[in-house]
Chains A and B, each alone.
Chain A
Amino acid sequence: MRLLPGWIGLAAVLALTLGPLIPLGLQAGAAPGFGGPEWGALRFTLLQSGLSAGLSCLGGVVLARALSRQRFPGRRLLLSVMGAPFILPAIVAVLALSAVWGRSGILSDVLAALGLGRLDIYGLPGVVLAHVFFNLPLVTRLVLQELAAVPAEHWRLAAHLGLSRGTVFRYIEWPAIRTALPGAFVLVFLLSVTSFAVVLALGGGPGAATLELEIYQALSFDFDPGRAAMLALAQYALCLSLGLVALRLARQAGFGPGLDLALTRLDGAAYRRADALVIGLGGLFLLTPLAMLAARGVEGLIAGLPAATWPAARLSLVVALSSSALGMALALAMAALIAGLRRAAPARARLIEAAGFLALTASPFALGAGIFLALRPVVDPFALAVPVLIAVNAVMALPFSLRILLPALERVEADYGRLAASLGLAGWSRLRYLTLPRLRRPAGFAAGLAAAFSMGDLGVIALFAPPDLATLPLAIHRLMGAYRMQAAMGVALMLVGLCLVIFVVFERLGAADDRA
């Protein structure tokens, strides 16, 4: 009974990820798949994704440890602002990065002034740089969440026993980090695999292409939906197998529950300088491009935003909040299902968990075209554009919200499952008095992330957008397509601002009743 919503959620996820490929596959005979250039592109894809994920994880762990040890004014704001790169539309991020790291970016200017050469990041370095910029905040937050879940009693004990830094890392921090790291790695890896516009723009040449480009090509110039479906399927297969491997490696730390003591780590003082350096560098890396965007955006804001911005902002907000709500329900139901099956059928639980990753490698073009084809015989797809957008965004955010909620939910189950069972807490009561209160903080984070993610997503709407309906990312694209770069930056700044507000509000909601 408790698992039923989870099964329904799983069905919805499969219907929205794999389902749209069916009408595509039925369209036309697929052209034969892989040749030399495709293998070259695949090799590059695996290399850049591996490097992006590895570096994001490394940087994320270092930054998360520093942040978990230190408390300073503005820490929470920093955490929120740091998350902004994650939601930037690709095209805006490329411009923001080039303003810092490009041939005429501020870094190059400094180097040139010092008589050194200008930077040339185009190629592998640029692609990896961009992906680390996007994903470092995500990894940091995922790891930080696990570190924060270590019961305060353990830090107290560690401080009391005077455990060495190595011992603290090995026996307290690492088990916590390990809970989050494989999942985080897979998230970044797969995001990098499916990234498309960024890889091309900073990759320096056609060799720096991903399967996503092939899918796009198959759906536009080549018009071969069958091939698009096949390539999309290949991406899913990669996703599922990687997900399964990573989940095998992930372990619950199993610290057991603490008593929500209001106590932070006591080892901050010893690390103050090193941590300040790490946090400073991380902040610079993430915030400078945003500052460049803000500088350009402010000009756009002063010049006045185009009238079309306001309806677009309204629609974006509606879509973001609805898909966040739907996505949270979906993630909770699936997390309960996975946690419920964990003991009885671990293999099946893992498979479902890996299926939660699927949406990561979903090609927005293939999805859009497939849903369009599926709906068309039944109903005017335009009429359903907004609900479809909400549903797709909810599923697209699932890999993130599930990664955030599942470990927390399993912790709740491990710590209080027996007590709840013996008291007969079930259904709504269990959700209200056990699950939600214990999940408040991660749920606030996940809901904010899902909303922001869906705000910044162009996704299927590119194919679906009825003429008089645009989201903010679409408005940005349209402005840029019409030479209005300055106005586009203004709208981009507004998008980032809105996302931050949503993010901060959700996180505050999550922490409102938190005495820890």
Chain B
Amino acid sequence: MRQLFLALLSALLPFAAAAQDRPVLTVYTYDSFVSDWGPGPEIEKRFEAVCDCDLQFVGSGDGAALLARIRLEGANTRADIALGLDNNLIAEAAATGLFAPHGLSPKLDLPVAWDDPVFLPYDWGHFAFVYDSTKLADPPDSFAALMAAPESLKIIIEDPRSSTPGLGLVMWIKAIYGDEAGAVWRRLAPHILTVTKGWSEAYGLFLEGEADMVLSYTTSPAYHRIAEGDDTKRAAIFSEGHGMQIEVAALMAGAKHPDLARRFLRFMLSDAFQEVIPTTNWMFPAVTPAAGLPEGFAEPLPAGASILLPPEKVPALRKAALAEWREALSR
């Protein structure tokens, strides 16, 4: 009884930061970045070894929730850095005026040109449909082939209203097909087994064998290969090209420790940070580390296969693209 009470008490006590002299650098990010299985813990250890500071990651939901949170807090946010927005969120993030230029001119290994003065990429990936090669011998090699496939070929996608990859797919198709996107969705509709709230549900259902393909990343098979020694999962490469997700970090205009924050951004593009990314975040590092990518990691797509809507065009297109998507799939 007494022990229970003490346990209760200790849990109820505010999580007061231990009094210390080292400056605290606060980085807001998404939840999976800070989890034990994400890059967060290792990166915290590595940066703290060199910065003489206390690096605190604060995770909340996904990228969209992260931006919402920053907007809720407004100018007097505690964050020094926001890490984890992506190309589809950048324009809206920029419009808040809450972010400051990073002032760096790094050399990035991105398949597309990137010179945004505020948002600095730390990793990137291509969306792709992942399949099990033992079950699907002859996967479609394009959206055209997917549309033409027999109706029994089923895919699971994420809802663009609640999930980043889901929105990525909608913008991917919009970028390829423009005004024809609605018609494409109508032809894809019979193949869509279901639409899930987030990536985890979709991927979990796929692993249960519910559908032939699931919307994920070209890097997903690398996880199964490296962590599980399972070489059966593959990403279907589409001839129309692949939508990109570029994940970025940015300095907050109201940062308490702007110099330390800039130092972190520089660290972010160094090997110490970048070599952690492939096997924790399962994305391509924004700057390939000197040692190269880990053994068995995904091959980058050939040049020219990357499809990226200019971030500033996303807000205007998003609403229309969502409406088309919804209209086509609600039939």
Contacts and interface: CB of A to CB of B under 8 A. Distances in A.
Interface stretch (B63-71, B139-147, B236-244, B291-299): B63-71
A102 B60 contact: no
Contacts of A200: 159, 162, 194-197, 201
B72 A478 contact: no
B61 A386 contact: no
B201 A219 contact: no
Given A201-B201, A225-B72, A481-B200, A467 B34 contact: yes
Contact of B37 (A321, A386, A479): A479
Question: Interface majority SS on B: helix, strand, loop or mixed?
Answer: helix
B122 interface: no
A197 interface: yes
A437 B295 CA distance: 66
B7 A318 contact: yes
A267 B36 CA distance: 57
Nearest to A126: B194
Contacts of A217: 161-162
Interface stretch (A62-70, A90-98, A229-237, A249-257): A90-98
B32 interface: yes
Interface residues of B, number: 68
Contacts of A197: 196-198, 201
Given A98-B208, A219-B68, A386 B329 contact: no
A477 interface: yes
A91 B203 CA distance: 11
A498 to B, nearest CB: 15
B204 A485 contact: yes
Contacts of A99: 208
Nearest to B57: A467
A467 B282 contact: no
A125 interface: no
Given A220-B68, A221-B161, A382 B15 contact: yes
Contacts of B15: 382-383, 385, 466, 468-469
A482 B38 contact: yes
In the complex, which range does the number of interface residues on chain A fall in? 35 or more
A205 B166 CA distance: 13
A209 B201 CA distance: 15
B207 A485 contact: yes
A436 interface: no
Interface string B182-218: 0000000100111111111111110111110000000
B168 interface: no
Contacts of A387: 12
Contacts of B113: none
Interface of A: 27, 37, 40, 91, 94-95, 98-99, 102-105, 122, 126, 196-197, 200-207, 209, 213, 216-217, 219-221, 223, 225, 306-308, 314-315, 318-319, 321-322, 369, 372-373, 376, 380, 382-387, 390, 462-463, 465-470, 474, 477-485
Interface of B: 4, 7-8, 11-12, 14-16, 31-32, 34-38, 40, 56-62, 64-65, 67-69, 71-73, 78, 92, 154, 159, 161-162, 167, 189, 192-205, 207-211, 220, 223-224, 227, 282, 325-327, 329-330
User: Would you list the 7 A-B pairs with minimal beta carbon distance, nearest first?
Assistant: A104-B209, A482-B37, A383-B14, A478-B35, A220-B64, A480-B200, A481-B32
